[in-house]
Homo-oligomer: A and B are copies of this chain.
C-alpha cells in the first residue's frame, strides 16, 4: 500500500461550516470582529489622515509596525469576502488598499513609517524595526485580496515592492546581506510565488532563510554602521530573533515565540518547495524540542514577557505564562505546513490543540475583546481587552479564523486527508472529478463523525481519516461494516483506499472520555497536579463555578468525572463535573503553621473549556488542578 505522504490544503472557500461551534463564531467574526477591528485602527490612528498629521511627540505614538495590522486586517477581510461577499466590508477593504498603495514610492518601496516619518532611516535597522516584516504582511494581504476579489491593485504593488526588495537584498555582489529581525516575509514570498508562479519570489525567500545567522553577522555590521556597539543589543542575544546560528544548525526552540514559529513555518515551506530534507530534519528537531520541553498543554508557548518568548526546558509557569496569542497562531501555521509535508496526526493534533485552546481563548464570545497573553492560571486580574497599542493579535486571529476552512482537508492526486472534524459541506477535486463531502458531527462536543460522499461517477481514491492522539478507542465503519481500524492506521490516519461511490457513508467514532493529563515530573509548577481534557479541549476551573479559592481544591486520583452539555452556558459548552474536596480553613483561626494537616470538606468541582474563561464575573482560573493520591 502506497503511503499517503503529504498533501495540499484545500482553499478555505471549499468548506462551508454548518456546525454550532465554528459557524456562529465565523458569523460573529464577519459581522462584529472585522468591522470592530477596522474601527479600532481608525480610532487610534493606524492609518488615514492621522498619519498625515502625526508628529513625533504626539500621542498615541504609532508603532513602526502599525501598518502590518492594517495588512493583516485586509487579509482577514479578503478571506471573509471570498466566502461571504459584503459590499460594505469590501468598501472598507478598498479604502485600506488605497491607503497602502498610495504609499508606494517610485522605486517600488512601500512602507508607512519609513516613508512618512523617517525616510532617511530606510533599511538601517532590520534587527529591530520590522521593515521586511511589514512587507511580508503586505504581500500576504495582497495575495488574499487578489484571490478573494480578483483585483490586482495590491498584488501588483506587492510584486513591485518584492522586486525592489530583491534588488536591495541578496547574496549577489553589491547587495546587502540582510534579513528581517522579525521573520514573516519568508512565508509571504512563498505565497507570492504560488499566486504569481514567479520562482524569483521563492528564491528571495530562500535567500532570507539561508542567510539568517551566518557570519559575519548582518546585525553586527548594521549596528556598527549606525555607530552602535553590536554587543549593546537590548535583547542581549541573537537567539531572540533566531539568528544566533544558521537555521540548519538550530536544535532548540529559542527566543521570541512568534518569530520562531514564523521562521519554522518558512523552513517547512521551503522543505516542501525545494524537497530539502535538511530543512525537514531541522523542523523535526525543533518540533521535538518544543513539544517535549517548552510547550504549554494549551498549545501556548513563550514562558516569559521579558523576551515574549522561550526560556529554559520545563520552565512553564502558569500564572506568569506569556503564551502570546500570535505564538499559538504561529504554531498552527507551522504545523499546518508540516502536515503538508507529511500526513502525520502529531502535526494535526498539535494544530488542533493550539486552535481550540491557546488560540481560541484569545477571542471573546462577542468577537470584540482579545487576550494578548493566555496564561494558564489567574487570580482574577487578567481580562480580554478591546484593543492594544501593539495590536498584532486581534487581526491575526481574525485572519486565521476567516481562513479556517483550509485546515479541514488536504488533497493530493489520489488521496483526501480529513484533518479536522466539523459539521460541514465541501466539494473537493480528487481522482479527476468533484466529490462532495458532508460531515455530520457534534464535534468538538461529541466524537461521532459521519462522512457522506456524493459524486457523479464512482472514483478510486484513498480517504485518510485522522485518528486524534487523544483518542485510544476509535471505531470505524464504511456503509455499516466495521473495519479493523488498527490495520488501516498509519501515523495516526486511517487510510481507506477503494472505489467510492455516491451515498457511501463512513462512520468514525472517537470516544471522548474525560482524561487527566499529567506533566513531566520536571515541570515543577504542574507537579502533583492534573489538567482535564476531553477530546481536543483542555479544561480549567473558574471561580464563577467553584465557590472556594481554587488552590484549596483537591481532586482525588480515583474520583469519577462526568461531562454534560450545557446549551445556555458560554455559548454552549460541555462542562466537566466531579466530586472533589476543598481544604478547610475555618479551624485555622490565627494559625499559620501547625502539626496537623488541613481538614477537607466536600467540593463539587466544575470545569469549563479553557477557551471560554473570563466571560463571567472576574475571578480565579486554573488549568492545573491539585490532585491527591488515594
Which residues does A use to contact B, with CB under 8 Å? 288, 291-293, 295, 297, 515-524, 527-528, 531, 549, 551-552, 557, 583-585, 588-598, 626, 628-630
B518 touches A595 (CB 8 A): yes
A-B contact pairs, 30 of them (CB 8 A): A288-B590, A291-B590, A292-B589, A292-B591, A292-B592, A295-B592, A516-B595, A516-B597, A517-B594, A518-B593, A518-B595, A518-B596, A518-B597, A518-B598, A520-B585, A520-B591, A520-B593, A520-B598, A521-B552, A521-B588, A521-B598, A522-B549, A522-B551, A522-B552, A523-B592, A524-B551, A527-B551, A528-B626, A531-B593, A628-B628
Q: Which residue of B lies closest to A529 (CB)?
A: B528
CB distance from A370 to the nearest CB of B (A): 26
Scoring A527, A528, A583, A592 by chain B CB atoms within 10 A of each residue's CB, the highest score goes to: A592
Within 8 Å by CB of A628, from B590, B594, B629, lies: B629
How far is it, in angstroms, between the C-alpha of A523 and the C-alpha of B519 when the chains are bound? Answer: 23
B521 touches A584 (CB 8 A): yes
Q: Which residue of B lies closest to A525 (CB)?
A: B551
How far is it, in angstroms, between the C-alpha of A629 and the C-alpha of B629 when the chains are bound? Answer: 6
A583 touches B521 (CB 8 A): yes
Scoring A583, A593, A594 by chain B CB atoms within 10 A of each residue's CB, the highest score goes to: A593
Within 8 Å by CB of A592, from B519, B524, B593, B626, lies: B519
B527 touches A592 (CB 8 A): no
Q: What are the 5 tightest A-B residue pairs by CB atom distance, in nearest-first order?
A: A521-B583, A292-B590, A524-B551, A628-B629, A521-B598
How far is it, in angstroms, between the C-alpha of A523 and the C-alpha of B291 when the chains are bound? Answer: 32
B-side contacts of A591, CB under 8 Å = 292, 520
Question: Given A527-B626, A549-B522, A626-B528, A517 and B595 touching (CB < 8 A)?
Answer: yes
CB distance from A592 to the nearest CB of B (A): 5
How far is it, in angstroms, between the C-alpha of A591 and the C-alpha of B288 when the chains are bound? Answer: 9
CB distance from A582 to the nearest CB of B (A): 8
B-side contacts of A293, CB under 8 Å = 592
Number of copies: 2
Known contacts A297-B593, A517-B594, then 16 further A-B pairs from the complex at CB < 8 Å, ordered by chain A residue? A291-B592, A292-B591, A515-B595, A516-B595, A516-B597, A517-B593, A517-B595, A518-B597, A518-B598, A521-B552, A521-B583, A522-B549, A522-B551, A527-B551, A531-B593, A629-B629
How far is it, in angstroms, between the C-alpha of A630 and the C-alpha of B556 when the chains are bound? Answer: 11
A593 touches B519 (CB 8 A): yes
CB distance from A107 to the nearest CB of B (A): 49
B-side contacts of A516, CB under 8 Å = 595, 597
B-side contacts of A520, CB under 8 Å = 585, 588, 591-593, 598
How far is it, in angstroms, between the C-alpha of A346 and the C-alpha of B293 when the chains are bound? Answer: 48
B-side contacts of A593, CB under 8 Å = 297, 517-520, 531
CB distance from A103 to the nearest CB of B (A): 43
B-side contacts of A528, CB under 8 Å = 528, 626, 628
CB distance from A286 to the nearest CB of B (A): 13
How far is it, in angstroms, between the C-alpha of A584 and the C-alpha of B522 when the chains are bound? Answer: 10
Question: Given A522-B585, A551-B524, A597 and B557 touching (CB < 8 A)?
Answer: yes
CB distance from A532 to the nearest CB of B (A): 11
CB distance from A546 to the nearest CB of B (A): 15
Q: Which residue of B lies closest to A379 (CB)?
A: B524
How far is it, in angstroms, between the C-alpha of A517 and the C-alpha of B591 when the chains are bound? Answer: 12
How far is it, in angstroms, between the C-alpha of A292 and the C-alpha of B585 when the chains are bound? Answer: 13
Q: Which residue of B lies closest to A527 (CB)?
A: B551
Q: Which residue of B lies closest to A515 (CB)?
A: B595
How far is it, in angstroms, between the C-alpha of A595 and the C-alpha of B588 when the chains are bound? Answer: 35
CB distance from A471 to the nearest CB of B (A): 11
CB distance from A519 to the nearest CB of B (A): 6
Q: Which residue of B lies closest to A353 (CB)?
A: B593
B-side contacts of A551, CB under 8 Å = 521-522, 524, 527
A594 touches B518 (CB 8 A): yes
How far is it, in angstroms, between the C-alpha of A599 and the C-alpha of B531 when the chains are bound? Answer: 18
B-side contacts of A531, CB under 8 Å = 593
B-side contacts of A524, CB under 8 Å = 551
B-side contacts of A628, CB under 8 Å = 528, 628-629
CB distance from A499 to the nearest CB of B (A): 39
B-side contacts of A549, CB under 8 Å = 522
B-side contacts of A519, CB under 8 Å = 592-593
B-side contacts of A630, CB under 8 Å = 629
B-side contacts of A590, CB under 8 Å = 288, 291-292
How far is it, in angstroms, between the C-alpha of A476 and the C-alpha of B362 when the chains are bound? Answer: 67
B-side contacts of A584, CB under 8 Å = 521
Scoring A293, A557, A583 by chain B CB atoms within 10 A of each residue's CB, the highest score goes to: A583
B-side contacts of A596, CB under 8 Å = 518
How far is it, in angstroms, between the C-alpha of A591 and the C-alpha of B519 when the chains are bound? Answer: 9
Q: Which residue of B lies closest to A548 (CB)?
A: B521
B-side contacts of A629, CB under 8 Å = 628-630
